[in-house]
Structure 1
Amino acid sequence: MPADPIQRLLAAPPDLPVVAGLGAVAAALDDRRCVVVQAPPGTGKTTMVPPSVAASVDGRVVVTQPRRIAARAAARRLASLLGEPVGATVGYAVRGDRRSGAATRIEFVTTGVLLRRLQRDPELAGFGAVVLDEVHERQLDADLTLALLLEVRESLRPDLRLVAMSATVEAERTASLVGGGTPAPVVAVPGALHPVAHVWSPLPAGVRRADERGLTPAFLDHVAATVRRALDEQAGDVLAFLPGVGEVAGVVSRLAGVGPGVDVLPLHGRLPSAEQDRALSPGPRRRVVVSTAVAESSLTVPGVRVVVDAGLSRQPRTDHRRGLAGLVTVGVSRAAAEQRAGRAGREGPGAAYRCWSEADHAHLAAHPEPEIATADLTSFALEIAAWGSPDPAGLALLDQPPAAALDAARTTLRALGAVEDDGTVTPRGRAIAGVPVDPRLARALLDGAEVVGAQRAAEIVALLAEDVRAPGGDLVAALRGLRRGGPAAGAWRAAVDRLRTSVPHGGTDTDHRLTDDVAVGLVVALAHPDRVARLRPGRKDGSTTYLMTSGTGATLPPGSGLVGLPWLAIADADRRPGVRDATIRSAAPLSEDLALEAASGLWHEADEVGWADGRVVARRVTRVGAIELAAAPLESPDPALVADAVRDGLRRDGLAIFRWTDAAVALRQRLAFLHGALGAPWPDVSDDALLNALDTWLGPDLARVRGARDLQRVDVLAALRRLLPWPESGRLDELAPETVRVPSGSQVRVSYDGEQPVLAVRVQEVFGWAAAPKLADGRVPLLLHLLSPARRPAAVTSDLASFWVSGYPQVRAELRGRYPKHAWPDDPTTAPPTRGVRRPRDAQVSRPGRGSRG
């Protein structure tokens, strides 16, 4: 038997499906120094691939995991197979916890830890191989780490072995990236899952899954009821998936006393290690493990034969316009649902209860969106700047980041002083990047330590970094609760100690005479100056509604102890679709002086000229972000700003604010007719076109306007004439005449208020016309509205020749008895036109008989 524990394990491996593919993995690494392993959860890839790689390379093998709990669990699993304690041949390193030593050959780490190591030592001295596990989850750190490793292999360490392991069929895409010009070899390991029955458990009619406050209590009741049903109908332990820590706690409490001989255990990343180990270890009794997505693919929960899936997950989303980032509850993808269900079939036939309908399942997304497409990119942008590649287009990323999100991240970093205008990192940026938290929190730690003391700054930043729940949204109350102890205090204290060492020279702990209330608010404001908020004045709900410097409204939840405070520093807020204001989840009090100091980069004074209530309003305004601090009237505003204000007013109120004379309306109608009939150069005079060309036709009139009364004085006719094209304008009266001379000698006005120009004229005045005139160079015939002697409509035609033949006889028959003194000749094409009742002798017609109406 080999003395080397790794060789002993490989000589007598456990019965896991991946063992059959280890030879192919080793061959690919010898040939190409890279390989992609595609194997579903439960095949043993996380356990057996790392020792296989370690047996063939010089140096340590580092294995990444997406979560701390997974890294510790994987290290414990492999160490137990080697018959050694964790920290010997196999160790781990996660944020705030490391168990490895000089003899460690395989080290499990979170992706964030490896990213830090790459930034400190791009050559990864002492490491022979990197195994990237669960790359299918597409976490932002994992995508970036893979891209940086590919650059390291190309330029610094061509000998570095690289293994990417995926649980989904998208491995081919990863292989194309990993292999560079030629795709990396793919070793596919089939799963050995037992059959899993799918049981649909949709919500009862009338029950909503979520409302404006989040998941409803009724939905959590339904999940708990489904767990009870599964316990009654199936054998084995139950693994229930919920989206977040709060929902896990809610279902655990609902399952209290579920039955004799059943233990109900939570599982998530915030639990102490001992409680995580308890959920991940077989127990003496039947168990229900209520977990977040940590157990979806990177953890094994032994004994599970039943899965209850709530069908939800938490994914990062950022509202870049409002500057709000956070985790959002979304429907699970079909790929993730299959992975969750597969947990029930690892040890034998199982069942997966899904808390949605089969019809709903068909509408789920096929795969989860990669974090790079949805998450806040501030940390990402700082990492690539510190790496020396501020433009991500040069990195081998599976997906490029959205341009808008990257621009927003760079704007944030410039405000922190972390990057130059061209995106290159500054010395301050390197200091911020060296603190293992979000760049905004790192800035708050470094700058806040000088004001509130290093210890207190570390406590507050750890409170924010660990995402500790604040009762009633009050962060000060949360801080005091952690100092007294409690379930979350251990992880918080470890984070405090770690952050405390990141303060240069240890900082200072001098009493700065700031109370905890104000100290917490200041540090939060330093982290999020865009979330400094002031109470909105003059509202009935003014005691709970705030305006942030970012311009977003925010409302305190009912019953919060922060109600009525004039200034707040908001640490966390979310805005649900369809709701105008965000809801404040955590905040702290802030004085006005400290608010303005923390958000000093947003302070600005500007002349503002706008249009309000039908007039130009000019003010000199002092603001911090969107919050107005002071304003004074501006006596002599810039004419250009005045003109801009008038333009805005016209776009808002419309052109009807002008005084449109009949002549101006008529000219506009004639121009509109010619534009429609002939096109350019005759101008478009529609509302939209005129509003978009205000400078062209209003010209210098704009700067003289101070209100609606001035607009009423504008000579619109003269302004419109500025739009007349030259030299074509000389033909305006020819192409679109104001009047037309009819056979009787009358000048009759043409109406252009319609799709076709209209000439309304008495029928007797057009006797002798064979056809109606045509306008616009003969392209558009006049539409004749032929009137009776009383000027009432008798007929409408644009084909006068046809009318004389087929329409006129009927009109003549109907009207000649009513108007016997007017001419009604048998042949109107040869009859002389008349204006009045006098008829020429050659146009006499016989009078109808007595009593006839004609």
Structure 2
Amino acid sequence: MDAAFDLGAIGAGLSFVTALDELSATLNAHSAVVISAPPGTGKTTLVPPLLANRTSGRIIVTQPRRVAARAAARRLAQLDGTPLGSRVGFTVRGERAISPDTRVEFVTAGVLLRRMLHDPGLDGVDGVIIDEVHERALETDLLIGLLGEVRALRDDLVLVAMSATLDAERIAAVIGTETEPAPLVDHQIPAFPLTERWAPPPSNRLDARGVTGAFLDHVAHTAASAARDLTRRDGASDVLVFAPGAREVAEIARWLRDHAPEFDVRELHGQLPAATQDAVIRGRTSAQPPRIIVTTSLAESSLTVPGVRVVVDSCLARVPQRDAGRGMTGLVTSAASRSSCVQRAGRATRQGPGTVIRCVDERGYAAAPARPAPEIATADLADAALLLACWGTPGGTGLRLIDPLPAENLTDALAVLRGLGAIDEHGRATAEGRALARIPTDPRLARALLSGGALVGARLAAEVVALLSGDQRVADTDVAAAVRGLRNGHGPDARRWARDAERLERLAPKGTVRGTLDDVGLVIALAFPERIARRVECSSDGATFLLASGTRAGLRGALANAEWLAVADVARATGRAASDSGAVIRAAAVLSESHLEQAAGPLLTDRVEVAFVDGRVRARRERRVGAIMRSSAPVTANAEESREAVRRGIERDGLDIFTWSDAADGLRRRLALLHREKGTPWPDVSDAALRGSLDVWLAPEVDALAGGTPAGRLDMMPALQRLLPWPAAVNLDALAPERLEVPSGSRIRIAYPPHDDPTARPVVAVKLQECFGWAETPRLIDGRVPVLFHLLSPAGRPLAVTDDLASFWSGPYAQVRAEMRGRYPKHPWPEDPWAATPTRHTKARTAREQG
């Protein structure tokens, strides 16, 4: 057996040495442990060799970032006194340093996930350490779930979860057993003093275009002042500046190089070459000038930047945010969580007392969210869903996850996988899906590599996929131009991109085809057919494109002149390229019509669309790519297509498209009252019921509309009469008559209530004099419904409303008579309405007719 790691030598000066006995005792009784310890205590350095000394197999340590995996492996190998790649090594995407003798291997979580698909039992591995669990990276969350299943079959596999700020009880419950949580080893030490200072900006940090230039200048000026003050006090220490993204890092660094040339200004973010990243975290010699290191959240945790005594924090973060309406997840700049800011501040006290200067006021800091949302809540889940399907747990069913996969995001991801043919109708991985999962990239890009390799050649397909799956920024949005530049060695990422492309090329199908840069759009479209886009608007500020998915997105630059694009990256428009479209295209390539045909697949449609618009049938032949109209021309529809269009139009727009005559409207109102009071056999004539039975009562009219007759010319009376229930319909006029005869002999039309108002009553509006002596109020529908009388003046104005005539004559009539007899002296206002002759005429005319 190889010599054991010398924990005493490795742990010299590291406080976690004092926790090793407790950890060993805990591991004697348990195979799963949670470790909580502050940054800089040495847990990442000491726990892996401790586990290696207890076992004969390999110990795997996961880190959320490649730079952290490389740095941790290099640090442990250095302390062990062995070459990197021998006893201690690392594997990250596109780079590895291991050997058959490697006992401790640092990897990213994604590397271990894909390794487990090939080796579910983790043969030869005796322990897995998941570091920085608190970051809640999606791949880390998935690892916890999968390792839970492995440990159910392998009780000898040790699992350790570690973090500086950890929801210990929650994690312990997940990685423990169903009956007992994993034990916690909590190592706390007195923290070095931290001085908090506040440097709020004179203006807003953010506007509609993103982070303001004035705020970035403020952060840079604050950092320069802090560095000069620190140099006067301690020339051996550095300043670490946190910015939300790589663009802001570059702008702050540019200001510092121009205005503070006495300092060594370094940038640190994921888009930089590995050698540049590693050089920053190795520190500096005493002969080198003090450094100002401008970084993204990359340095927030999981790695130590030595020599830092002051942290300048923008208190901003770039976080993923899902736009459910557009079906996209984009990075949005917002206030960093307070827990993230605490992590950042801790970089200043790793090796002694330190200072944090927060570029925000105390009220703004207190209003920030307490913790960042876990990545599983906002990320695109296509890759995760494919991995889970290949593992045999579609959607994560049955896995013990910290949080379940969000249902809406998961539904979208499964739809993507079905479109790729990667899963079947039950969510299980297909052979195609397993082939895609073997390629270490997003399944859509994996599909582009496999399908594109056969169409444009393995090399070009691999180059495009390497660019899109990496951290490289696509300048001016043009992916083809970016590939050309990388081929020529331009940019700090060219060497790493070339290695990634070579690795992917080995996974692509071999052939004799050799594509050109004009074929880049085809590779992108094969990955994201729903993002094929056509220009729909153009202005001096750029162009707006409509994507096949239905999203509209803005674009500036040379590509704005293209008619068709294959879009690789589109996001919510919150930055400098924001447009009225609400989304912005960040990476794309020109797409030819022939390539569109090859890539769009099921999104291509060529069919006759028949619609019923403004009361007429209109038919057009439409060729579409998803939501994009390629061409549209009028055609003549056949009879059945026209009838179906009429039905859809009526169901969509309702029956108000027809002109209802008074007779038709009156019959519908009568039928509605009969249905409400008596039910069957009287028909339901509500809008919903009529729209649901068009073939029963409206078939001849539908045929007429389908033949070109405008809706306004149709008479609805015959259609409604088809609904009359025979033989019950012979009683219609007796139950619900059109008119009511009053004592004067007049036949007054009954105003039946609207068909959609169940509380309204049938009304008869009649002159008061025509009802003298009428004691019993008439009732309709076999006496069920009393008529409501609107008694009118001789001029036709309402005087009273009643459904109890006898009570009216005996009471309110006297007051009405007193008020009206002087206004209408020519009309009868008898003191005794019971004895008066009902009439619709004046007193004189009545007398003449009676004389």
TM-score, normalization by structure 1: 0.87
Report what 1:78 is aligned to: 76
Cα distance in 2 for partners of 1:51, 1:148 equals: 24
Moved more, 24-33 or 173-182: 24-33
Report what 1:243 is aligned to: 244
Q: 2:340 aligns with which of 336, 341, 355?
A: 336
Q: Contact conserved, 2:71 with 2:303, CA < 8 A, in 1?
A: yes
Cα distance in 1 for partners of 2:570, 2:201 equals: 29
Residue 160 of structure 1: how far off its partner (Å):
0.6
Cα distance in 2 for partners of 1:200, 1:708 equals: 75
Q: Contact conserved, 1:570 with 1:584, CA < 8 A, in 2?
A: yes
The count of corresponding residues between Structure 1 and Structure 2 is 827
Report what 2:830 is aligned to: 825
User: CA 1:292 to 1:780, structure 2 compared with 1: closer, same or farther past 3 Å?
Assistant: farther
Gaps of 5+ in 2: 755-759
Q: Contact conserved, 1:596 with 1:624, CA < 8 A, in 2?
A: no
Listed one character per residue, the Cα deviations across residues 311-348 of structure 1 (whole Å, up to 9, x for unaligned) are: 33333455566454543434433332332333334344
Report what 2:4 is aligned to: 4
Report what 2:757 is aligned to: none
Report what 1:442 is aligned to: 446
1:491 equivalent to 2:496? Answer: yes
Supply the AA of the counterpart residue of 1:142.
Answer: T
Q: Contact conserved, 2:59 with 2:128, CA < 8 A, in 1?
A: yes
Report what 2:465 is aligned to: 461
Cα distance in 2 for partners of 1:344, 1:692 equals: 71
Residue 413 of structure 1: how far off its partner (Å):
2.8
Cα distance in 2 for partners of 1:45, 1:186 equals: 14
Cα distance in 1 for partners of 2:753, 2:521 equals: 64
TM-score, normalization by structure 2: 0.87
Listed one character per residue, the Cα deviations across residues 632-677 of structure 1 (whole Å, up to 9, x for unaligned) are: 65544362x4344334434665543211101222234445667788
Report what 1:585 is aligned to: 586
Moved more, 576-585 or 526-535: 576-585
Within-5 A mapping of 1:242-641:
242-259=243-260, 261-283=262-284, 284=286, 285-317=289-321, 319=323, 322=326, 324-485=328-489, 486-504=491-509, 507-508=510-511, 510=512, 512=514, 514-516=515-517, 518-536=518-536, 544-557=543-556, 560-576=557-573, 579-580=580-581, 582-612=583-613, 614-630=615-631, 634-637=635-638, 639=640, 641=641
Cα distance in 2 for partners of 1:308, 1:736 equals: 84
Listed one character per residue, the Cα deviations across residues 699-722 of structure 1 (whole Å, up to 9, x for unaligned) are: 564354238843224432344456
CA RMSD of the aligned region, Å? 3.6
Report what 1:99 is aligned to: 97
Report what 2:789 is aligned to: 784
Within-5 A mapping of 1:807-846:
807-838=812-843
Residue 69 of structure 1: how far off its partner (Å):
0.8
Cα distance in 1 for partners of 2:259, 2:690 equals: 72
Cα distance in 2 for partners of 1:685, 1:52 equals: 81
Report what 1:664 is aligned to: 664
Cα distance in 2 for partners of 1:21, 1:64 equals: 21
Listed one character per residue, the Cα deviations across residues 579-614 of structure 1 (whole Å, up to 9, x for unaligned) are: 536322222223211221122343333332223454
Q: Contact conserved, 2:422 with 2:434, CA < 8 A, in 1?
A: yes
Residue 804 of structure 1: how far off its partner (Å):
4.3
Cα distance in 1 for partners of 2:365, 2:62 equals: 32
User: CA 1:541 to 1:266, structure 2 compared with 1: closer, same or farther past 3 Å?
Assistant: closer
Cα distance in 1 for partners of 2:64, 2:501 equals: 23
Report what 1:57 is aligned to: 55
Residue 362 of structure 1: how far off its partner (Å):
4.7
Report what 1:175 is aligned to: 172
Residue 298 of structure 1: how far off its partner (Å):
1.2
Q: Contact conserved, 1:618 with 1:637, CA < 8 A, in 2?
A: no
1:223 equivalent to 2:219? Answer: yes
Supply the AA of the counterpart residue of 1:530.
Answer: E
Supply the AA of the counterpart residue of 1:583.
Answer: V
Within-5 A mapping of 1:672-711:
698-699=698-699, 701-706=701-706, 709-711=709-711
Q: Contact conserved, 1:7 with 1:55, CA < 8 A, in 2?
A: no
User: CA 1:825 to 1:85, structure 2 compared with 1: closer, same or farther past 3 Å?
Assistant: same
User: CA 1:722 to 1:28, structure 2 compared with 1: closer, same or farther past 3 Å?
Assistant: farther
Cα distance in 2 for partners of 1:632, 1:426 equals: 41
Q: Contact conserved, 2:239 with 2:293, CA < 8 A, in 1?
A: yes
Residue 824 of structure 1: how far off its partner (Å):
1.4
User: CA 1:648 to 1:371, structure 2 compared with 1: closer, same or farther past 3 Å?
Assistant: farther
| SS of alignment partner, residue 8 of structure 1 | helix
Listed one character per residue, the Cα deviations across residues 161-216 of structure 1 (whole Å, up to 9, x for unaligned) are: 111123434222222221131222222333543454554555545x46032x4433
Cα distance in 2 for partners of 1:181, 1:493 equals: 47
Residue 286 of structure 1: how far off its partner (Å):
3.6
Residue 62 of structure 1: how far off its partner (Å):
0.6
Cα distance in 2 for partners of 1:137, 1:210 equals: 28
Listed one character per residue, the Cα deviations across residues 776-809 of structure 1 (whole Å, up to 9, x for unaligned) are: 7777654432211222233344565665465433
Cα distance in 2 for partners of 1:177, 1:730 equals: 75
Supply the AA of the counterpart residue of 2:113.
Answer: L
Residue 114 of structure 1: how far off its partner (Å):
0.8
| SS of alignment partner, residue 545 of structure 1 | strand
User: CA 1:348 to 1:708, structure 2 compared with 1: closer, same or farther past 3 Å?
Assistant: farther
User: CA 1:289 to 1:811, structure 2 compared with 1: closer, same or farther past 3 Å?
Assistant: same
| SS of alignment partner, residue 369 of structure 2 | coil
* Identical aligned residues as a percent: 51
1:649 equivalent to 2:653? Answer: no
Q: Contact conserved, 1:473 with 1:584, CA < 8 A, in 2?
A: yes
Q: Contact conserved, 1:440 with 1:528, CA < 8 A, in 2?
A: yes
Q: Contact conserved, 2:477 with 2:588, CA < 8 A, in 1?
A: yes
Cα distance in 2 for partners of 1:638, 1:758 equals: 44
Within-5 A mapping of 1:38-187:
38-155=36-153, 157-182=154-179, 183-187=181-185
| SS of alignment partner, residue 765 of structure 2 | strand
Moved more, 165-174 or 90-99: 165-174
Gaps of 5+ in 1: 843-854
Q: Contact conserved, 1:240 with 1:309, CA < 8 A, in 2?
A: yes
Moved more, 146-155 or 355-364: 355-364
| SS of alignment partner, residue 255 of structure 1 | helix
| SS of alignment partner, residue 710 of structure 2 | helix
Q: Contact conserved, 2:839 with 2:846, CA < 8 A, in 1?
A: no
Q: Contact conserved, 1:668 with 1:720, CA < 8 A, in 2?
A: yes
Cα distance in 1 for partners of 2:805, 2:746 equals: 18
Supply the AA of the counterpart residue of 1:550.
Answer: S
Q: Contact conserved, 2:616 with 2:710, CA < 8 A, in 1?
A: no
Moved more, 157-166 or 771-780: 771-780
Report what 1:845 is aligned to: none
Q: Contact conserved, 2:643 with 2:706, CA < 8 A, in 1?
A: no
User: CA 1:160 to 1:654, structure 2 compared with 1: closer, same or farther past 3 Å?
Assistant: same
User: CA 1:605 to 1:777, structure 2 compared with 1: closer, same or farther past 3 Å?
Assistant: same
Moved more, 326-335 or 127-136: 326-335
Moved more, 301-310 or 770-779: 770-779
User: CA 1:701 to 1:841, structure 2 compared with 1: closer, same or farther past 3 Å?
Assistant: closer
User: CA 1:601 to 1:661, structure 2 compared with 1: closer, same or farther past 3 Å?
Assistant: closer
User: CA 1:339 to 1:731, structure 2 compared with 1: closer, same or farther past 3 Å?
Assistant: farther
Supply the AA of the counterpart residue of 1:529.
Answer: P
Residue 34 of structure 1: how far off its partner (Å):
0.8
Listed one character per residue, the Cα deviations across residues 820-854 of structure 1 (whole Å, up to 9, x for unaligned) are: 33221223345443332348999xxxxxxxxxxxx
Supply the AA of the counterpart residue of 2:573.
Answer: R
Cα distance in 1 for partners of 2:720, 2:426 equals: 47
User: CA 1:715 to 1:783, structure 2 compared with 1: closer, same or farther past 3 Å?
Assistant: same
